[in-house]
Amino acid sequence: MIATPADALWNQRKRIASLSDRLKNLMKAVAHPGDLRPNQWVQLTAVTLDFRPQLIIELGRGYGNSTCCFLEAANQLGGPSACKLLSICNSDSWFKQTAPRLKEVVPEQWFDPAEIRECDILEYDFAPIVQQADRCLVFWDAHGFEVAQYVLGGLLPLLSDRQHRVLMHDMTDTRYNVAPREYHELGLWKGMNAGDTGICLGHIQSRVAQAISIVDFTTRNGIPLHSAEESLYGQLAHDPAKMTELTQLLGDELFGLSAHWFWFTLDEASESLTFPRFERRPMVKLNSAEPKPNDIWDKLSAHMTT
């Protein structure tokens, strides 16, 4: 039976409680709470600890809220020998802003499980690193149809023969969240990611293009597309004893049933798998004088001296 986010939160509740101060310090260091709420930090950390991946692939990093969740979980699981994090994003905010602040709250070896890449996702060859892991967790937070085509047509085929979960941010389940129905004088959503307008697809509301591609892909393959709330409300909301214990252990700041993220696994497909065609962009070689993007401390030093 496939564990749900509610299972993970309940199974890992005491471990998460023991990490609450560390998680709060990491949140303060990132200093961008609007990108990922405290209860979402807990949910992602719990799912990672419970699934015990050997490889975490983070697509889209921004300032690094989720990056910190996954790095903390990777360290808790045993460090780089047990769990590695590959984080890919075209933003340099992690190196310029977040990593210097993290140095004040974590030791240098805390970064060891991570390979942090500042590059175009569409150029990255995932095959070598995926082949090294039997259990993979993907956090998909990079927007756009091109990225969606690569994830669904390039990355997922590599995961089809190994244990995996795909988590997706910026998608709301309107069965459990009050979402605006009115247009409020706004026009139709026309593909702009994270803009003022959004789309409603059944019980899914989103402002990012990949939501359409995900619904299309899971429908074609007969794969259930789960929201985190589906299990959090379904398994916890009507159990007063569990709700009381989780609130007492984590407090109102870290515990909440709202999630605004979805997940799926190819293991639940009811049809033979079909994937969209995708051709990876050729990778642009870095100038030899530039620091290697996967060396956090060399990259950080380079940014701090420029």
DSSP per-residue letters across 136-190 = EEEEE---SHHHHHHIIIIIHHHHTTSEEEEEEESEEETTTS----S-TT-----
- Edge to edge, the sheet with strand 171-173 lists 171-173, 204-206, 199-201
Domain ranges for the chain:
5-171+208-304
Report CA-CA distances (Å) from 148 to 7, 118, 151, 208, 224: 28, 19, 5, 11, 18
Per-residue pLDDT, 139:
98
CB atoms within 10 A of CB 153: 18
Q: Which CATH superfamily includes the segment(s) 5-171+208-304?
A: Vaccinia Virus protein VP39 (3.40.50.150)
pLDDT number for residue 180: 75
Question: 114-145 burial by CB neighbour count: b if 16+ within 10 A, else e?
Answer: bebbbeebbebebeebbeebeebbbbbbbbbe
DSSP 134: S
* Helix, coil or strand: residue 50: helix
pLDDT in tens, the chain (306 residues): 899 999 999 999 999 999 999 999 999 999 999 999 999 999 999 999 999 999 999 999 999 999 999 999 999 999 999 999 999 999 999 999 999 999 999 999 999 999 999 999 999 999 999 999 999 999 999 999 999 999 999 999 999 999 999 999 999 999 999 877 888 888 888 887 877 788 999 999 999 999 999 999 999 999 999 999 999 999 999 999 999 999 999 999 999 999 999 999 999 999 999 999 988 877 665 443 334 444 544 554 444 333
Report pLDDT for 294.
46
Provide the whole-model pTM.
0.91
Return the pLDDT at 284: 61
Q: How far is CA 123 from CA 11, 35, 57, 118, 285, in A?
A: 38, 25, 15, 11, 10
- The CA distance from 17 to 296, in Å, is 29
- Gap between the Cα atoms of 83 and 71, Å rounded: 9
Token code pair at residue 25: 């310090």
Please list the residues that pair with 264 across neighbouring strands. 166
Cα dist from 62 to 95, 118, 161, 211, 247, whole Å = 11, 11, 30, 19, 30
pLDDT for 258: 95
- Rounded to whole angstroms, what are the CA distances from 72 to 15, 53, 68, 295? 12, 13, 6, 18
